[in-house]
Amino acid sequence: MVEALGGDDGRDAGRFLEVLSDAMEEGVVADGAIAQSQSERDAMWAIRDDVGQVRQHRPVFSFDISVPLSKMDSYVVELRQALNITWPGNHLSVFGHLGDGNLHIVVWVGDKSAKAAVEAVVYEGLPKRGGSVSAEHGIGIQKKQYLGMSRSADEILVM
């Protein structure tokens, strides 16, 4: 979802439509819809804000990671492939704050005992992309053992 604000209402809508059309022609965007009213805008955001839908399959493993914007696509493609190899039929949801590089990854594999294995797959592709095992939600106890994948020993010592 993209929401844009500008300083010239008369020209901004046309410029936004042009950028969206170009992105669709280039294959960057597969499909799009533009709200025509405040109620349509609110309805679109309600879908995004209904995060609970990703928990339709239980148990799920949730992750809050960050990846440079230019490397997000390759990360998600590689993650999906790795999950499919080990857990065919898995469910992967990816959403977040793409402009900041923050991604929320929600994975269902049908086996609650697979948590450590799923963590390894999710975190594996981050170091080579300059990513981090945490984005806005911090490290806490659960991610402590993985912190060395995205922070140096000196950084950890300072923490």
Q: Which of 25-29, 102-106, 113-117, 144-148 has the highest mean pLDDT?
A: 113-117
Evaluate whether 76 touches 101 at the Cβ level (below 8 Å): no
Angle between helices 115-124 and 72-86 (to 10 degrees): 150
Evaluate whether 61 touches 93 at the Cβ level (below 8 Å): no
Report pLDDT for 144.
Answer: 80
Domain ranges in the chain are: 9-49, 52-158
The whole model's pTM is what? 0.70
The tens digit of pLDDT for each residue in 78-113 reads 999 999 999 999 999 888 776 788 898 999 998 989
Reply yes or no on whether the pLDDT at 14 is more than 80: yes
Pairing of strands 61-66, 91-97: unpaired
Structure letter (DSSP) for residue 2: -
What CATH number has the domain spanning 52-158? 3.30.70.2740
Q: How far apart are CA 132 and CA 110, in angstroms?
A: 26
The tens digit of pLDDT for each residue in 45-81 reads 887 776 666 666 668 898 999 999 899 999 999 999 9
For the chain, give the percent of residues with pLDDT over 90.
35
Evaluate whether 105 touches 92 at the Cβ level (below 8 Å): yes
Higher pLDDT, 134 or 53: 134
